[in-house]
Amino acid sequence: MIIISTGKGRFIVVFLIINFLLFFLVPNTDNKEPFWLALGLLVTALEVFLLDQYLKKTEKGRAVREKSTGREMILKPNHSLYFINIKYWPIIFMILSSLFFYSYISS
């Protein structure tokens, strides 16, 4: 499987794999309920959100002056996974988590 990421976007996959192992494979139950998968996705969403906040706070952009107009721009690094910016991944994980919670409650 090819993982397309820029910047620190690869940490999203690392968080997802670690939480999948902790919350879905580790609980010693015969019935693998979607509750554990939903909880793992929820924790992953929290971790990715905190990573995004940390990166926004600590990374400073570099100033670049445009030659033709003389305007100064600040370029900040881009962190994404599969061309989706890191700030949108917590929302995706929360939606998936709510779907698994709903399937757990309805069964």
Instruction: Dump pLDDT digits (tens) for 27-44.
Output: 666 556 788 888 889 999
pLDDT tens per residue across all 107 residues of the chain: 788 888 888 899 999 999 888 887 776 665 567 888 888 899 999 999 999 999 888 888 888 888 888 888 888 888 889 988 999 999 999 999 999 889 888 87
Return the closest-CA partner of residue 96 out of 19, 32, 42, 48.
Answer: 42
Backbone angles phi, psi at 16, to 5 degrees: -65, -45
- Cα separations (Å) of 12 from 29, 33, 61, 64, 100? 27, 23, 22, 29, 19
- Cα separations (Å) of 36 from 17, 22, 27, 81, 91? 14, 9, 8, 24, 18
Task: Report d(CA 87, CA 78) in Å as an integer.
Answer: 11
Question: At residue 34, what is the residue type?
Answer: P
Q: Please tell me whether the overall predicted TM-score, pTM, comes out greater than 0.85 for this model.
A: no
